[in-house]
Structure 1
């Protein structure tokens, strides 16, 4: 067994235009706060997506992986709402239902889903995402999950906890 230690992470040179020190990353992800009430699985995946973006200060490719990860959290929520089907079809339905604006749809479908698919199938190991674009994908994933889980209960009686609202994202 080797006793060689891995080096401490050093800032990725490609991040120099976005952050001069790791502390700047807190500002980049500041508005990706998770609202209370998300299912634990979605919360865990979105937290991971946000932290990957924060850690991209040390490895720029984490931007792409963080964005793709947030799209993974959206898929089961849309399947719960629309039933069996592809993520592409579910995103179209979400746009038609007003859950996504055209811009948000393009971000999740045109960029996020494509990156997720290419990464999951080993067709890409990096993508040319900027921090604002990656944050935009995660923010959109977070917003749609918040709306889906804040949707009123259609069967049974509505309780006070069912009517709770989440902060706007």
Structure 2
């Protein structure tokens, strides 16, 4: 498992709280060899790190729910459609587990490793991305001049 997690690198410059969560994510995956449920918990922790990164990248994010942050990230161009879809899927899984609609899934470590490789790549992509500035028309919207 040491070789499996070796490729999961924490992006430089991300908020310390996100980096700490990602380190925990790696350790959960490492220990999923002994407890398969840890793969699912690791994936949920990666989503926590993603939320921290979104809050750091989206102005005035405050305490908005993750659903809103994902939507704002997509609307601003920070997130691609593929990234938005992936994050909504993760959010839905997290909500089903958190609200008792689904028990923890048992996930073999190699499945978890694949999903976490995608998660780490997504976090790196979003951290490096710049939102698209809102288009301006060159006129005052109130007067049309």
Instruction: Report the TM-score when normalising by structure 2.
Output: 0.68
Which residue does the alignment assign to 1:99? 78
Instruction: Say whether the 8 Å CA contact 1:107–1:136 is kept in structure 2.
Output: no
Task: Kindly state the Cα deviation for residue 69 of structure 1 after the two structures are TM-superposed.
Answer: 0.8
Kindly indicate whether residue 41 of structure 2 is the aligned counterpart of residue 31 of structure 1. Answer: no
- Cα separation, 2, equivalents of 1:75 and 1:65: 15
Instruction: Say whether the 8 Å CA contact 1:26–1:54 is kept in structure 2.
Output: yes
Structure 1's unaligned 5+ residue stretches are 1-24, 152-169
SS of equivalent to 1:125: coil
* Pair 128,134 (structure 1): closer, same or farther in 2 beyond 3 Å: farther
* Pair 27,116 (structure 1): closer, same or farther in 2 beyond 3 Å: same
Task: Kindly state the Cα deviation for residue 62 of structure 1 after the two structures are TM-superposed.
Answer: 1.1
1:70-126 CA distances to partner (integer Å, 9 max, x unpaired)? 11122233234242422112112222333333222222211x212222333343332
Task: Kindly state the Cα deviation for residue 33 of structure 1 after the two structures are TM-superposed.
Answer: 0.7
Q: What is the RMSD of the two structures over their aligned residues, measured on CA atoms?
A: 2.6
Instruction: Report the TM-score when normalising by structure 1.
Output: 0.60
Match for residue 103 of structure 2 among 115, 119, 125: 125
